[in-house]
Structure 1
Amino acid sequence: MKIPDEHLAGCKVHPQANSTRAVVLRRPGAGVADVDFLFYLHVQASDKCRAQPGLLAYAAHCRTDAGGRPLAGVVVLCRDRLTKLTAQVLQGFTLFLQCHVEDMKHHAPTLLHSPPPPPIQTVLHELLHALGFSKDLFDTWRDCSSENDFSAGVTCSPRGKVTHVDGWGQMRLYTPSVISALRRHLVAADPELGAPLENWDAAPGMASSHWESRLLQGSVMLATPSRSGIARIDPLTLAAFRDTGWYVVNASRAQNLVWGKGEGALFGSTSTCHDNSSSFFCSGSGLGCHHLHGHKARCQSDHYLDGCRIYKPLEKGSECWEKANERNSSEERQGGEIFGSDSRCFFSHLSTLNHSQLMVTGRCYRHKCSGLNRYQVQVLGSDWVDCPAGGSIQIRGYRGSVFCPNERLCLDWDVRPPSKAEDGVPTGQPEVTILQDDTRSAYGPATDPLVTTALCVVAALSVLVFGLASSRGSPCKVRIHPALGDV
Structure 2
Amino acid sequence: MVVELPGVLQKCIFDEVQAQSTRHPLSNKTNGGGWRTVKPPPASPQPIRIHTWIPRENDNLSDAEKDRLKSAVAEAVRVVSSLLSVNRVLGPLLLSRDVNKYCKFIWSNSRNTNYNRCGRANNNYRSETCLDVTIPDDHLVGCDIYPEPDSPRRTVLRPEGAGLPDTDFLLYLHTQSTDKCRAEPDVFAYAVHCQTDTHGRPVAGVVVICRLTESTYNHQATVQTVIHELFHALGFSKDLFHTWRDCSSSSQVGAGCSPRGKVIHSDGSGQMRIYTPSVISALQRHLASTDPELGGPLENLDVHPGRVSSHWESRVLRGSIMAAVLEDSTTVRIDPITLAALQDTGWYTVNLSRAQSLVWGDGEGAMFGSLSTCQDNSSFFFCTGSGVGCHFLHLHKGECQTDPYLEGCGVFKPLKNASECWKKDNTRQTAGDDWSGEILGLDSRCFFSNLTTQSLVSSSSVEGRCYRHRCTGPNRYQIQVYGSEWVDCPSGDTVQIKGYQGLVFCPDRRLCLYPDINPPSDDVNTFPSSHTRQV
* TM-score in terms of structure 2 length: 0.72
Q: Is the 8 A contact 2:194 2:205 kept in 1?
A: yes
- AA at the equivalent of 2:224: Q
- In the alignment, structure 1 residue 134 sits paired with structure 2 residue 237: yes
Aligned to 1:146: 249
Tell whether 2:415 aligns with 1:314. Answer: yes
Corresponding residue number in structure 1 for 2:225: 122
Map Cα deviations across residues 332-352 of structure 1 (whole Å, 9 max, x no partner): 431111111111100000000
Of 222, 247, 253, which aligns to 2:354?
Answer: 253
Where does residue 358 of structure 1 map in the other structure?
A: 460
* 1:56-87 superposed Cα distances (whole Å, 9 cap, x missing partner): 111111110111100112211014x443998x
Q: Which deviations, in whole Å up to 9, do the C-alpha atoms of 1:342-368 show, x marking residues without a partner?
A: 111000000001112110000011111
Partner residue, 2:377: 276
The answer on 1:8 being equivalent to 2:140 is yes
Instruction: Name whichever of 159-168 and 232-241 sits farther off.
Output: 159-168
Partner of 1:166: 267
Report deviation, 1:179.
0.2
| Cα shift at 1:412 | 2.2
- Name the SS of the counterpart of 1:268 in structure 2: coil
- 1:20-48 CA-to-partner distances (Å, cap 9, x unmatched) read 34343322100112321112211110111
Q: Secondary structure at the match of 2:231?
A: helix
* SS of aligned partner of 2:203: strand
SS of match in other structure, 2:435 = helix
User: Residue type matched to 2:239 in 1?
Assistant: D
- Cα 1:85–1:235, aligned 2, differ >3 Å: closer, same or farther? closer
Matched, 1:343 2:444: yes
Shift of 1:17: 2.6
Report if aligned partners of 2:143, 2:157 keep a CA contact under 8 Å in 1: yes
How far apart are the structure 2 equivalents of 1:328 and 1:154? 59
Any conservation in 2 of the 1:321–1:419 contact (CA below 8 Å)?
A: no
> Which residue of 194, 201, 206 maps to 1:74?
206
C-alpha distance in 2 between matches for 1:263 and 1:361: 23
Deviations 1:367-419 (A, max 9, x none): 11111111110100001111111111010010000000011111122112324
Q: Secondary structure at the match of 1:179?
A: helix
Q: Give the letter aligned to residue 220 of structure 2.
A: P
Letter of the aligned partner of 2:214 in structure 1? T
C-alpha spacing 1:15/1:429, structure 2 compared with 1 (3 Å): farther
Deviation for aligned residue 1:168: 1.3
Q: Say if 1:196 and 1:211, in contact at 8 Å, map to a contact too.
A: yes
Task: Tell me which moved more, 188-197 or 121-130.
Answer: 188-197
User: What letter corresponds to residue 31 of structure 1 in structure 2?
Assistant: G
Aligned residue identity for 1:130:
A
Q: State how far apart, in whole Å, the 1-side matches of 2:134 and 2:302 are.
A: 27
Give me the whole-angstrom Cα distance separating, in 2, the residues matched to 1:122 and 1:280.
25
Is 1:382 the counterpart of 2:514? The answer is no
- Paired amino acid for 1:182: L
Is residue 493 of structure 2 the alignment partner of residue 391 of structure 1? yes
2:176 match: 44
Residues 1:62 and 2:164 are matched in the alignment: no
Q: Unaligned 5+ residue runs, structure 1?
A: 87-114, 435-441, 443-487
Measured at CA, do residues 329 and 121 of structure 1 come closer, stay the same or move farther in structure 2, by a change above 3 Å? closer
Partner of 1:413: 515
Partners of 1:419 and 1:33 in 2: CA distance = 36
Closer, same or farther: CA 396–414 of 1 in aligned 2, 3 Å: same
Aligned letter for 1:133?
Answer: F
Percentage of identical aligned residues: 60
Which string of whole-angstrom CA distances, capped at 9 and with x for unpartnered residues, describes residues 132-152 of structure 1? 11111111000001242x16x
Letter in 1 for 2:188: L
Whole-angstrom distance in 2 between the partners of 1:223 and 1:84: 24
Map of 1:453 onto structure 2: none
Kindly indicate whether the alpha-carbon contact (under 8 Å) linking 2:141 and 2:160 is maintained by their aligned counterparts in 1: yes
The 5 A counterparts of 1:280-319 are: 280-319=381-420
Give the distance between the partners of 2:512 and 2:434, measured in 1 at CA. Answer: 26
- Quote the residue 1:202 is aligned against: 303
State the partner residue of 1:83: 214
Kindly tell me: are residues 84 and 285 of structure 1, through their superposed partners in 2, closer, same or farther at Cα, counting changes over 3 Å? closer
Residues 197-230 of structure 1, C-alpha deviations (whole Å, 9 max, x = no match)? 0001423211111000000111110111123532
1:427 aligned to 2:513?
A: no
CA distance in 2, matches of 1:430, 1:282: 20
Pairwise CA distance, 1:424: 5.2
Aligned-pair distance for 1:329?
A: 5.2
SS at match of 1:202: coil
Partner residue, 1:402: 504
Aligned to 1:191: 292
- Kindly indicate whether the alpha-carbon contact (under 8 Å) linking 2:327 and 2:529 is maintained by their aligned counterparts in 1: no
Cα deviation per residue 1:431-478 (whole Å; 9 max; x = unaligned)? 55x4xxxxxxx3xxxxxxxxxxxxxxxxxxxxxxxxxxxxxxxxxxxx
- What SS class does the counterpart of residue 303 from structure 1 fall into? coil
| Pairing of 1:25-36 with structure 2 (within 5 A) | 25-36=157-168
Contact 1:178 1:194 in 2 (8 A): yes
| Aligned counterpart for 1:236 among listed residues 337, 347, 352 | 337
| Aligned Cα root-mean-square deviation (Å) | 2.0
Q: Is the 8 A contact 1:317 1:427 kept in 2?
A: no
Cα shift at 1:319: 0.5
Preserved contact between residue 117 and residue 418 of structure 1 (Cα < 8 Å): no
* Contact residue 230 and residue 417 of structure 1 kept, 8 A: no
CA distance in 2, matches of 1:328, 1:430: 19
**Aligned with 2:331: secondary structure?**
coil
What residue in structure 2 maps to residue 176 of structure 1? 277
8 A contact 1:320–1:345 mirrored in 2: yes
Structure richer in helix, relative to its length = 1
Corresponding residue of 2:69: none
Q: Could you tell me whether the CA contact under 8 Å between 1:67 and 1:155 is conserved in 2?
A: no
Contact in 2 for aligned 1:142/1:244 (Cα 8 Å): yes
Separation in structure 2 between the aligned mates of residue 133 and residue 217 of structure 1, nearest angstrom: 17
Q: Hey, what's the Cα distance between the residues in 2 that align with 1:60 and 1:85?
A: 25
Q: Calculate the TM-score normalised by the size of structure 1.
A: 0.79
Name the CA distance, whole Å, in 1 between partners of 2:430 and 2:225.
35
